[in-house]
Chains A and B, each alone.
Chain A
Amino acid sequence: GQQVMQIPQYQHVQEGEDFTTYCNSSTTLSNIQWYKQRPGGHPVFLIQLVKSGEVKKQKRLTFQFGEAKKNSSLHITATQTTDVGTYFCAGDDGGSQGNLIFGKGTKLSVKP
């Protein structure tokens, strides 16, 4: 079945450093979504990427979708303590009635 791998599992950074998490799918995706989960909270939608090679920015966050639509990345520039949480990618292969396959997430901690 479809698998979505996400690395790294954990990332510890000093405030002000950059952070990147990577997502790879075993199959071609119709779209990929990114979610953020704060400690003790629930996942919250950040963005959806649909087009091959797409790049989207949200303030200090940059999201990329690979040319083959099998990989994606989230890059945070100059991390802040408010960025703490777990970031999940979720792939939609377009054939499973809207079901998403989630990566295991990257847990980001930021030292002030």
Chain B
Amino acid sequence: NAGVTQTPKFQVLKTGQSMTLQCAQDMNHEYMSWYRQDPGMGLRLIHYSVGAGITDQGEVPNGYNVSRSTTEDFPLRLLSAAPSQTSVYFCASSYLVSPTNEQFFGPGTRLTVL
């Protein structure tokens, strides 16, 4: 099993550009989520999904869109990048019902917006 994979690992954008961060998992997890991590701010939830076709907003959703057409994939779209979106982005997945709802994190995407 590859676990949770994310692409790209690094990305530099100019203000106003759009892009999609890819996330995929091969563990058949129902729950998938996107976090951003900024220095001193911990991990903040952007969007999450509890299954294919179902998405919802987290704590900091503005400027981001998501979709979940399959169980495996959960891409995050930046519509018009802003310098405030410079951050490290982590995708995570887990079972909805299990003895522990341990979240498995991907390796992250380090995004810089100039």
Most chain B CB within 10 A, of A92, A103, A105, is at A105
Looking at chain B's contact residues, is the secondary structure mostly helix, strand, loop, or mixed?
strand
Task: Tell whether A97 is near chain B: CB-to-CB under 8 Å.
Answer: yes
Q: Please report the number of residue pairs spanning A and B whose Cβ atoms sit closer than 8 angstroms.
A: 59
Q: Contacts A45-B102, A98-B94 hold; do A105 and B107 have CB atoms under 8 A apart?
A: no
**Which residues 29-57 in B have Cβ within 8 Å of A in the complex?**
31, 33, 35, 40-45, 48, 50, 56
In the complex, what residue of chain A is closest to B107 when comparing beta carbons?
Answer: A42
Q: A9-B40, A104-B40, A104-B42 are in contact. Are A99 and B58 (CB under 8 A)?
A: yes
Give how many B residues have a beta carbon under 8 Å from the other chain's beta carbons: 26
Q: Does B114 contact A (CB under 8 A)?
A: no
Residues in A lying within 8 Å of B, measured CB to CB: 6, 9, 31, 33, 35, 41-45, 48, 88, 90, 92, 97-105
* Interchain Cβ contacts under 8 Å between A and B, 5 examples: A41-B107, A43-B103, A97-B96, A100-B45, A104-B42
Given contacts A42-B106, A102-B44, list 10 more A-B pairs with CB under 8 A.
A6-B42, A43-B43, A43-B103, A44-B105, A45-B102, A90-B103, A97-B31, A99-B33, A99-B45, A102-B35
